[in-house]
Structure 1
Amino acid sequence: MSASGKASKGLVITFWIFTALFCVEMLFTAYFELMMLPQAAQAFTRLGFSANAFRIELSWAKVAGVAALLWPMARGQRGLISTLKEWAYAGFAINLISALIAHLSISDRPLALVPSATTSVLWAFSYFSWRRLQTQPMAD
């Protein structure tokens, strides 16, 4: 934190870099799951999930979660928006952990874990930098 009591530029930049990368990855997977129907359906079926309803629900939840993470915080809305962001982060954490478990449960090749593991690292940097920013006073 700087002498003025506001968040450091470095923390803000770190947050936005990792959040942007994380959101791009989540939107890419949602797009793949919604638009690349045969391949996405096969991937879900191979992991033991429903090829239709669950895939669509999960994809739209990712889009909604990204919207929540990117929604700007305004004065007077910090509590509500903060709560929505917290739920989005929680949902993404459950999604990423579940993806890793699904791949491990079918004894998938180690390389199949890389996308979920990498995205989990992006999630962690985004979430923990966001939590640090939450402890800082809002700029006017």
Structure 2
Amino acid sequence: MKKLKTWYWVVTIIFALMMLMDGFGGVTQQQAGKEVLKHLGYPMYLLIIVGIAKLLGALTILQQKFTAIKEWAFAGFAINFIGAFASRAFVGDGVALLIPPLVALVIMFIPYVLWKRMQENVKNS
């Protein structure tokens, strides 16, 4: 259980930091984000909305008290990554631009699965 908990926290913190950085970039409207939104045909204000959602989601997955909200945060990240993949596919981007959202989705599932395993271990104890 201790090894599982350690791995859970390591990957969760890394993922949360990734989302905090990305969310901060959205809220501060970094040029790279603006260029992507323009390329995909989305309005610029979406950058701030998604940025705030990522910041809140990152903080939410780090807390342990409100499990339902934590589930929603993981679901939100999954929807975000699937939406990013679909958006890239719909505008005809190449494979090199289609892969990163899928990689992010796989990375997101690692802390999620470890969290679920920890919950099962607590139930069975």
Taking structure 1 as the reference length, the TM-score comes to: 0.79
Which of 96, 101, 108 is equivalent to 1:111? 96
Letter in 1 for 2:25: F
The structure showing larger relative contact order (alpha-carbon pairs under 8 Å, at least 6 residues apart) is 1
How many Å separate the matches in 1 of 2:104 and 2:52? 18
Taking structure 2 as the reference length, the TM-score comes to: 0.88
Is 1:69 the counterpart of 2:61 in the alignment? yes
Is 1:96 the counterpart of 2:81 in the alignment? yes
- How far residue 25 of structure 1 moved from its aligned partner, in angstroms, is 1.4
Q: Paired residues, what number?
A: 123
Q: Structure 1 residues 118-127 or 34-43, which shifts more?
A: 34-43
The Cα offsets for residues 56-92 of structure 1, whole Å up to 9 and x where unpaired, read as 111001001111111143xxxxxxx111101111111
CA 1:25–1:114 in structure 2 vs 1: closer, same or farther (change >3 Å)? farther
SS in 2 for 1:107: coil
Q: Which structure 2 residue ranges, 5 or more long, are not aligned?
A: none
CA 1:28–1:113 in structure 2 vs 1: closer, same or farther (change >3 Å)? farther
- How far residue 137 of structure 1 moved from its aligned partner, in angstroms, is 2.2
Structure showing greater Rg: 1
- How far residue 9 of structure 1 moved from its aligned partner, in angstroms, is 1.5
**Identity across aligned pairs (percent)?**
28
How many Å separate the matches in 1 of 2:76 and 2:101? 14
Q: Is the 8 A contact 2:29 2:48 kept in 1?
A: no
Matches within 5 A, 1:1-140: 8-52=1-45, 54-73=46-65, 81-137=66-122
Q: Is the 8 A contact 2:29 2:47 kept in 1?
A: no
- How far residue 101 of structure 1 moved from its aligned partner, in angstroms, is 0.7
How many Å separate the matches in 2 of 1:114 and 1:20? 23
- How far residue 36 of structure 1 moved from its aligned partner, in angstroms, is 4.3
- How far residue 44 of structure 1 moved from its aligned partner, in angstroms, is 0.8
Runs ≥4 in structure 1, deviation > 4 angstroms? none
